[in-house]
Copies of this chain bind each other. A is one copy, B any other.
Amino acid sequence: MKKKNITIYDIAKEANVSPTTVSRVLTNNPLVKESTRKLVLEKMKEMDFTPNEAARSLTKKQTNMIGFILPDITNPFFSQTYIEVERRAHELGYTVLLRNSMNRSEMESTHLREFVQRRVECIVFMGGRINKVDSDPNEVEEMLEVMERVPLIMVNGQMEGVECHRICTNEEDGIRKIVSHLIEQGHKHLSLIGGAEGISTTDVKVKAFQEEIEKKGLEFRDEWQIYSGYDIENGRHAMRELLQKDPRPTAIIGINDMVIYGALKECREQNVPIDNFSFVGFDDIFPSDIVYPSLTTINHNYEMLSTEIVHSVQNIIERKPVEKEILIDTRLVIRESSLVKK
């Protein structure tokens, strides 16, 4: 089953040329006579030759690989971003190395180390440490060390003391769009659930939420803003808490779509009519179109997000000028969950 590794030397011998010439046809060097090129190509086909990328990387000092760290690919928000990045990177000849961190710092470290070792040409970082408002000095130092060797792009995050390229969803504006929409629907009592204090994506949203509410002359109630985490179960807990309040809010915004799924589930289990509330999520992951009621939410513009990521990656690698910070605008997708019923 295993063949001997055949190399350009083998091809050279068969074609009666030097290895150099074989290498030339491999790199599409135009300084090769057409007839010899044809001959060499023929022999390569015959012998089923494939150049060894490791050897190539070694001499060319470039691997055509980029590393992508994200918390959890089973979360549609990340997979929807990743797949677009993979596609576009592929078009430009790059191989993406995907690694899940599960938001665990040691995993992130491991992945970073591996990326450096494999000499990826750029690292894209989402989630985890880059969303901590108070960054860990050790993590900062590690990032800086990595960045001395590999350029790094942070997506929807940042670290104090780590200056690098950033591409971010305009989350403030997303929240404003949600608040405006709910007020238009006649709501006066808005709640925000999910997330965690000290995590930048949460803090940004909470701040924007509070500001926008007060700007519109509504009342911000502390007890209607519940930090409860990011997943479905966390959403259930928040909703459970909310249902015990008196008075209750009439509209509920989720830090992401997932927590709203949980909130809906909790209402059902407690036999609380869904219609009692308007719900709005954030991310527009695919299940939001199929849950019941379908979920009003903020779409990240995944296409533009991924386009900008790969675009930046490319320019950074090619040492072209790149904007240090790129903001991606969002879009409010109105579905059933936020429309006034009865």
- Give, as a whole number of angstroms, the nearest-CB distance from A264 to chain B: 7
Q: Which of A12-20, A35-43, A56-64, A210-218 contacts B (4 or more CB under 8 A)?
A: A56-64
Q: Are A95 and B95 in contact (CB under 8 A)?
A: no
Q: Are A54 and B57 in contact (CB under 8 A)?
A: yes
A188 within 8 A of B: no
Provide the residues of chain B in CB contact with A209, threshold 8 Å: none
Q: Which of A82-90, A165-173, A325-333 contacts B (4 or more CB under 8 A)?
A: A82-90
- Chain A residues with a Cβ under 8 A of chain B: 1-3, 5, 48, 50-55, 57-58, 61, 63, 72-74, 76, 79-80, 82-83, 86-87, 90, 95-100, 110, 113-114, 116-119, 145, 147-149, 151, 232, 261-262, 264-265, 268, 286-287, 289-292
Q: Are A48 and B86 in contact (CB under 8 A)?
A: no
Q: Are B148 and A1 in contact (CB under 8 A)?
A: yes
CA distance A50 to B120 in the complex (A): 13
Chain copies in the assembly? 2
Provide the residues of chain B in CB contact with A73, threshold 8 Å: 73, 79, 82-83
Q: Which 8 interchain pairs have the tightest Cβ spacing?
A: A54-B57, A287-B287, A261-B290, A292-B292, A74-B79, A54-B54, A53-B118, A54-B58
CA distance A52 to B100 in the complex (A): 23
Q: Are B80 and A74 in contact (CB under 8 A)?
A: yes
Q: Which residue of B lies closest to A265 (CB)?
A: B290
Q: Which residue of B lies closest to A231 (CB)?
A: B286
CA distance A96 to B111 in the complex (A): 12
* The residue from B55, B72, B148, B265 contacting A48, defined by CB atoms under 8 A apart: B148
